[in-house]
Each structure stands twice: as C-alpha cells, then as structure tokens.
Structure 1
Amino acid sequence: MAEMLAGVSAGTVALILLAGFAGHLLHPRALPAALAAHRTLPGPLVWPAAIAVGALEGVLGAATGYALLAGRPRALELGATGSGLLFTAYAIYGLYVLRTRPSVPCGCAADGTPMSGWVAGRAAALALASVTASAGAGSAVASHGVHVTIVGLSSVVFAALLWSLPPALSDPETALSDPERSPAG
C-alpha cells in the first residue's frame, strides 16, 4: 500500500507540473500578467521570473515522471524533493499575495482564476504529495503489474481534481451562472 501511495503522489505531482508547463507554453502572457498584477517583482524581472518558473515546472515534472516510469528511485527522490520545495514556495507566495492583493489572478491558469485560499491550499497539498513521493521513492518504483495501472489511473484522477479545484471553487455563483465556466457548459 505504501508503494501505491508514493507512486500516486509522484504521478500526481508530475502530471500537475507538466500541465502547468504546458499551460505556460500555450498561454505565455498569463503568468507574466498575473505576476505584474501581484506587484511583488520589479517590472523588468516579471518576464524572466515567469520564464524561469515555467521552465522549472517542466524540468521537475519531466524528471519526476521519468524517474517514476523508469524505476529510478534516487532520481525520483531528487525530482520530488525539488517539486516539494517549489510547491512550498507557491503556497507561501500564494498566501502572501492573497493577503496583500486578494483580487488578482493566480497565474496558474489562463482562465484568470483569482488568487484564493484554494490556490495556496492546492500548492500545500502538492508539497505534501511531493514529500510523500520523495520519502517513498524506493517503494514507488518497485510497483509491478496491476499496481502500475492503479497508480497511473489514480494519478490522472487526482491531478485532474487538484488542477480544477481552485477555478471550480473560486466563485461558485459566477461559475453556476456563467455557462462557459459551469460544469455543464
């Protein structure tokens, strides 16, 4: 059971990071616009910071996913530890921005999801998942047979849930009254 928990945690972290990286590639102006709205960085550093964050998400997501799939416990431990540090920084940053400028976009998606406790909470949950993956790296890569299928499917489900949590819970009345944001629309 421990190997499945560590494997699902690693898979979820890798998928979230890779989805974030893909989102930054598909919508390259969303994160810089959010960082500018946060007003935490001087103007000339907004684009370099956005590029660095996107690249770091891609590298950590690819490293964690590769290590899990290739059965490399040490690489998984390193990738998951780096991911945990990144998500911890996101959680702290999210709480800071939420406290100082609560109505700005989070920058984690192109849909303009506002910074909220859900954004910071998701980052904290992913930091915890990263720690779980790092601590159980040896057992996570030792999964065989049906465990691999369960880990893969569970990772996809948890990643989808965690990815959609902040937008879904940011403003329930708006989401229900706006057909483009509602689950049925």
Structure 2
Amino acid sequence: MTVYDTLPACFALTGAVLLVVAAVSRRGDLTAVIKAHGLLPAFSVRLAPLIGPAEGLAGAAVLAGWVSGEAVLLRFAAAAVALWYLALAGYLAVLLRRKGRVPCGCLDETSPASPVKVGRAVLLALATAPFAVGWPPMQAEMSARLIACGLAVFTAGFLIVAGKVADLRGTSVAHEQ
C-alpha cells in the first residue's frame, strides 16, 4: 500500500470514526429532537433509539474490517455507512429547507442543521463508497492500516472542531442581522 492508497483510506475511515464518536458521545434524547423536526412519520420516529447503536456498530464494523483485513466485512459495512451518510445528507437538506437552522441531533442536541453539515455528509458518503467496491485494496501490512486509522481519527477531530467553529460563526452572523 502506498501513500496514494493510505490517504483515500484515511478519508473513508473518517466517516466511520465520526459515527462511533456520535454513538458514544450522544447524551440527549435523539428521539425528542427527531420528533420535534416533524419530518418523519410516527412509526419511524419510534425507531430513533436504534440510530445511535446502529451508526456506532456500522462505524466500528468498517474500522474492524479495515484493521483486520476482512474485505467482506469492510465492503458490507462501508456500503451501510455510505448509505447512512447519503440518507443523513438528504434528511439534513430537507430539515434545513423546511425548518431552518434548528438543532439537528448530529453529535449533540444543540448544533443546528447547516449547509456545511449537508456537504460534510455528502463528502463522507463519497469518501466511504470506494471501500464498498473494494478500493483501496486490502494488501497493506498492519502498520499501514493502523496509520490510516490514526490519520482518520485526526481528521475526524478536525472535522468536529471545524463544524463547531462553523456553527459558532453561523450563530454569530444570525445574531448580527
């Protein structure tokens, strides 16, 4: 595996890391947040408590598949993660259009929906999708796979901080107007 394979893997793994972080760090009632949006039918809102564990499991499965070199697990989990991010992007776009900058439930219950979050979800879906079709190849040694995981954790942290800064900037601009 070359650096040309490690960097795309890093970005694909970033989406998985963010899902694990979201599942572990979410403290509030995601069901209440989704219910307040009023976008989903009542029967699907009842499934909201499963979101955190499901996204955490999918993210962990991608990471486990990558680290272990298990291509089948990686492909299946990466497809689930890419589809999750596409669904999230669609949901956030509709939420933003219909309700504006209301709390979206992403990582916490206070940060608002924003075009930045929609774009981030689309980019993470696109970054994860190559894993679902088997690229980059899994012939790397363990050290290269672990380096890609480390870079993914760093990138995920950077995205979280950048998202918080964008949220603060958006809130201050809204208050100025």
Corresponding residue of 1:13? 15
**CA distance in 1: counterparts of 2:135 and 2:54, whole angstroms:** 21
Is the 1:2–1:136 contact (alpha carbons within 8 Å) kept by the matching residues of 2? no
* 1:3 lines up with 2:5 in the alignment: yes
Corresponding residue of 1:183? none
> What is the alpha-carbon root mean square deviation over aligned residues?
2.3
TM (norm. structure 2) is 0.84
Corresponding residue of 1:181? none
1:52 to 50, 53, 57: 50
Residues 41-120 of structure 1: matches in 2 within 5 Å? 41-43=40-42, 45-46=44-45, 48-110=46-108, 112-120=110-118
**CA distance in 1: counterparts of 2:170 and 2:86, whole angstroms:** 30
Corresponding residue of 1:155? 152
Structure 2 CA distance for partners of 1:152 and 1:102, relative to 1, 3 Å: same
Report deviation, 1:10. Answer: 3.5
Is the 2:95–2:113 contact (alpha carbons within 8 Å) kept by the matching residues of 1? yes
Give the gaps of 5 or more residues in structure 2: none
Is the 1:3–1:136 contact (alpha carbons within 8 Å) kept by the matching residues of 2? no
Report deviation, 1:63. Answer: 1.0
1:121 to 119, 123, 128: 119
Corresponding residue of 2:31? 32
CA deviation map 1:17-39 (0-9, x unaligned): 10111123xx141x223212211
CA deviation map 1:21-64 (0-9, x unaligned): 1123xx141x2232122111245643x33212212202201211
Q: Comparing 66-75 with 102-111, which one deviates more in the overlay? A: 102-111
Is the 2:67–2:146 contact (alpha carbons within 8 Å) kept by the matching residues of 1? no
Give aligned-pair identity as a percent: 28
Residues 139-154 of structure 1: matches in 2 within 5 Å? 139=137, 141-144=138-141, 146-154=143-151
Structure 2 CA distance for partners of 1:163 and 1:49, relative to 1, 3 Å: farther
Is the 1:3–1:143 contact (alpha carbons within 8 Å) kept by the matching residues of 2? no
Report deviation, 1:72. Answer: 0.5
**CA distance in 2: counterparts of 1:74 and 1:173, whole angstroms:** 41
Amino acid at match of 1:99: R
Amino acid at match of 1:161: F
Aligned length: 171
**CA distance in 1: counterparts of 2:15 and 2:94, whole angstroms:** 23
Give the gaps of 5 or more residues in structure 1: 177-185
Report deviation, 1:145. Answer: 5.8
Report deviation, 1:151. Answer: 1.0
